[in-house]
Amino acid sequence: MFGTLLRFRLRRDRWQLAVWAVVHFLLAYLVVSAVHTTYGTAVERANTVKVMMVTPAILLFRGTPQGTSAGDFMALLGLTFIAVLVAFQSTFLVVRNTRAEEALGQTETIAATAAGRWAPSLAVIALGVIANVIAMIAVAIGCLAGGLPTGGSWLFGAALGAVGLTFVGVAFLLAQLFPAGRSANGWAAALVLAAYVVRGLGDATGTPHLATATLTPAWPIWASPIGWAQRTLPWSPHARVWPLLLGVAAFVVLTAAALVIQDRRDVGAGVFAERRGRAAASTVLRGPIGLALRLQRGVLIGWITAVVAGALLLGGLSGVMVDQLQTAGAGVINALDEIGGGGGSSGSLLQAFVNVGAIFSALLASAICVQGAMRLRQEEAAGGTDAVLSTAAGRMRWMLSFVVVAGVGAVLALVLGGLVAGAVAGDKGGGFATWFWAVVWEAPAVLVFLGIVALVFAVLPNATIAVGWTVFGLAAIFGLFGPLFGLPQWARDLAPFAHTPAIALPHPDFTGGWAMALIAIALVVASLVLFRLRDTKPGA
Amino acid sequence: MKAADAGQPVIETRGLTKHFGRVRALDGLDLSVGRGEVHGFLGPNGAGKSTTIRVLLGLARATAGEARVFGRDPWREASALHRRIATIPGDVALWPNLSGGETIDLLVRLRGGDATSAAYRSRRAELIDAFQFDPTKRARSYSKGNRQKVALIAAFAHPAELYVFDEPTSGLDPLMESVFTRQVGRIAADGGTVLLSSHILSEVEKLCTRISIVRAGRVVESGTLTELRHLTRTSFSFERAGAGGAMLTDAQLAGIPGVHDLALAEGRVSFTVDSDAVAGVLPALGALGVQGLQVAPPSLEELFLRHYGDVVPPAEAA
């Protein structure tokens, strides 16, 4: 029974597993290659790591300095980001196979057979374990292909696999608590990002040891599953396996707790009971805009909160950074420029940091756009589109409502983020106006994402979700690692963020910003026109 | 009702064709629904009923042929037409985190209704009561029947000129079906036009004034129930033992005019007669003094089966 169910799950998820494996491999391989090209010698690495050690803002986004070998750099620059991806793979996988199915009634179909109560869940957990073993192997092979030592590569892979495993447990527990797949996914995403930020606080507030180019992170690192993976110190002489066991133990405890809860609840029910709704619609829910706002409320609140929280951290750290860097020399600044995405231009360290902060905010805000446009397809597949189009609301109005809500939400996120970052940073941290405009000028690039995904929806509706996540994933990788990869200029130019006016620099060029705004508008208009030409296609 | 529309059919399609890749969902479908009709749209799964409705609502565009709703193009003028139309889709899709009450109000507002008007509030309250519906639950927790009720209440709570129902009673219990029947009676009395797609024959028989039967993307039969009945036979059966207990002889039975499919089983005689020849049979039966006579008009089921041939006995088709 268990075997049948597991084979069924494996078969259904085989493409996702394959795509994720390729992504993990490529990412590990590309970051290692970038480390080799950008920081080829031990001297270069030693210089860079010393700057980073006194720059909490950089450590927040990267990891723990643990030495000057190429492997140590891989752990410093690549671990936390790949960990976030592995964690997302796990949470999506578990929720997709548990609560999302349960909400559709498929679980009931299986529960009505001889499968019993436990076998279906155990099959999903086994799938999660298999997925993370594959992730471990893919990452390790990526590191080996990049020429890193064997032992460290496998420890690195295993550490990331353990992060994924922990989040299998987290997502499985969340799936028991919430009655809707979307809520479980939303909370899982929040916890993944929280794990990233908490370990970041540990790294940012750690104690640097300049002589050995290592850093002892503060206690928050131990409060995060990603932090446990970092503490294995792969490739370092002090590498150890035991922190991995924390991740495995967390997986076992969370899974056991979830199974106990599952054993006590009805199929289809959550632990948090469904709240009653209003008996009548409020005045807001009066048309397509009201509906779009209502349906995207959770996504908007979640990402806007993330942007503001990120802005708070970035703005706060920019002041601290200046204090700590009073003594840093000019050579140091060039090294930082490269990490920060200043592209080796004449910008100062602070300017580079403002730039990173703006891109980071833009990335979070573009999630609103990508998810907003994907919502068009989700609505169409679920039949909500037909329900609305069977009324007096036309196609244009329906589609525009979702696009406008997502677009306005993203711009609002940037404006709030810019205000908060600027206010917290103050004059010492770069100045209010610099921060504010740097973040707000990301808006055109962010809106391009909305246009791209909306256009795909209009032309190739079945590809919307896949393209949406791919575009977002690429943006995240290029936004955070782009400068490190040393790509040719034309490839960099493909990323919308590359055309954002660099407000922090002395003479920002606004042409790119206006061009992006025009492209975003053109894409949206084209998608509106093209959607009017096709049949709606409910169903998957 | 607009004066300009009087006389012309509310729905009219000519040679309507819709291809999905190589599948011909509609293959030259001609349908005409007049004002004030409750028009039954019959056919098994996959015959093209839902595709026709999707074209009539402007959700899908016809590959060829013409469709007119109130004399206008349903694809180009969808929103304007939809102010006059109420629909119940075949698959009722609800937004999981909206309550039933919110969904009803939203759908009515989207149709151009005023959710705060007194007329609407009282009609809505009446319907919620009649359908025994709890409007405060979230849509994701509704059963199939309750999801159906959301669509039904939204359709009936705000008046329309045309009601397009795609298998409206699926998931409803018999009690709720009778509430539905009453509501259709009410809108028909108010002069509304109804297109009722269904494969529940008793429902169509009870409600509809005209019927179109679809098969493989075409309308194969259309007319009033009486007209369609003329195309089939009435069945008779009675006991073989006559008034005095004596068995009727084969010769006596052979003397009855216009008999088809004569059969003897469990002491009863049964046969069918062309519907226009029934009057000639009755005197003969009277003369024979038959006992336990049962006469059944052709059911819609027989009409239906006639067009989906395979199950009909060969004699019937002869």
Interface test with A, best of B104, B110, B163 (most A CBs within 10 A): B110
Q: Does domain B3-228 have CATH number 3.20.20.150?
A: no
B185 touches chain A (CB under 8 A): no
Strands B259-265 and B218-224: unpaired
- Does residue B292 have a pLDDT over 90? no
The better pLDDT of the pair A55, A432 is held by A432
Tokens coding B265: 């089983």
Give the pLDDT confidence of A320-335 residue by residue, as tens digits.
666 655 555 554 555 5
B109 touches chain A (CB under 8 A): yes
Q: Where are the domains of chain A?
A: 1-205+213-271, 291-534
- Which of A91, A93, A88 is closest to A13 using CA atoms? A93
Phi first, then psi, for residue B120 (nearest 5°) are: -65, -45
- Report whether A62 contacts A510 (CB < 8 A): no
- Report whether A504 contacts A347 (CB < 8 A): yes
- Which of A378, A419, A401, A186 is closest to A301 using CA atoms? A186
To 10 degrees, the CA torsion angle through A285, A290, A295, A298?
-100
Which residue's entry shows tokens 């006389």? B7
Distance spanning both ends of chain A, measured CA to CA: 28
Q: Where are the domains of chain B?
A: 3-228, 233-297
- Burial label for A70, CB within 10 Å (0-12, 13-18, 19+), is buried
Portion of chain B with pLDDT greater than 70, in percent: 93
Give the pLDDT confidence of B130-168 residue by residue, as tens digits.
999 999 999 888 888 999 999 999 999 999 999 999 999
Which residue's entry shows tokens 């929806």? A457
| Residues of B in Cβ contact (< 8 Å) with A384 | 93-95
Report the sign of the C-alpha dihedral through residues A342, A348, A353, A358, in that order.
Answer: negative
Q: How far apart are CA A508 and CA B44, in angstroms?
A: 67
**CATH number among 3.40.640.10, 3.40.50.300, 3.90.1170.50, 3.30.70.260, domain B233-297:** 3.30.70.260
Q: What is the pLDDT of residue B316?
A: 35
The three state secondary structure string of A230-273 is HCCCCCCCCCCCHHHHHHHHHHHHHHHHHHHHHHHCCCCCCCCC
Which residue's entry shows tokens 């799950």? A9
- The SS3 of residue B82 is helix
Band (A338; pLDDT cuts 50, 70, 90): low
Strand partners of residue B271: B236
B138 touches chain A (CB under 8 A): yes
Q: How far apart are CA A60 and CA A242, in angstroms?
A: 24
Q: Choose the most confident range, by mean pLDDT, from A21-35, A51-65, B255-269.
A: A21-35
Helix axis angle, A150-177 to A119-145, nearest 10°: 150
| Residues of B in Cβ contact (< 8 Å) with A386 | 54, 57, 59, 89, 93
Tokens coding B126: 């009446």
Tokens coding A397: 């109005």
- Report whether A38 contacts A484 (CB < 8 A): yes
Q: What is the DSSP letter of A275?
A: P
Identify which of B60, B102, B111 has the shortest CB distance to residue A277: B102
Give the pLDDT confidence of B62-79 residue by residue, as tens digits.
999 999 999 999 999 999
Tokens coding A223: 């409060």
> Residue range A127-135: average pLDDT?
96
Neighbours of A518 (CB within 10 A): 12
Q: How far apart are CA A418 and CA A436, in angstroms?
A: 4
Q: How many angstroms away from the CA of A20 is the closest CA of chain B?
A: 30
pTM: 0.83
Tokens coding A404: 């406008």
Q: Choose the most confident range, by mean pLDDT, from A40-49, A150-159, B135-144, B306-315.
A: A150-159
| Residues of B in Cβ contact (< 8 Å) with A285 | 98, 102, 105-106, 109
Q: How far apart are CA A149 and CA A172, in angstroms?
A: 35
| Residues of A in Cβ contact (< 8 Å) with B97 | 180, 277, 294-295
Cα B83-B88-B91 angle, rounded to 5 deg: 135
Distance spanning both ends of chain B, measured CA to CA: 47
Band (A172; pLDDT cuts 50, 70, 90): very high
- Does residue B110 have a pLDDT over 60? yes
For residue A282, the chain B residue with the least C-alpha distance is B102
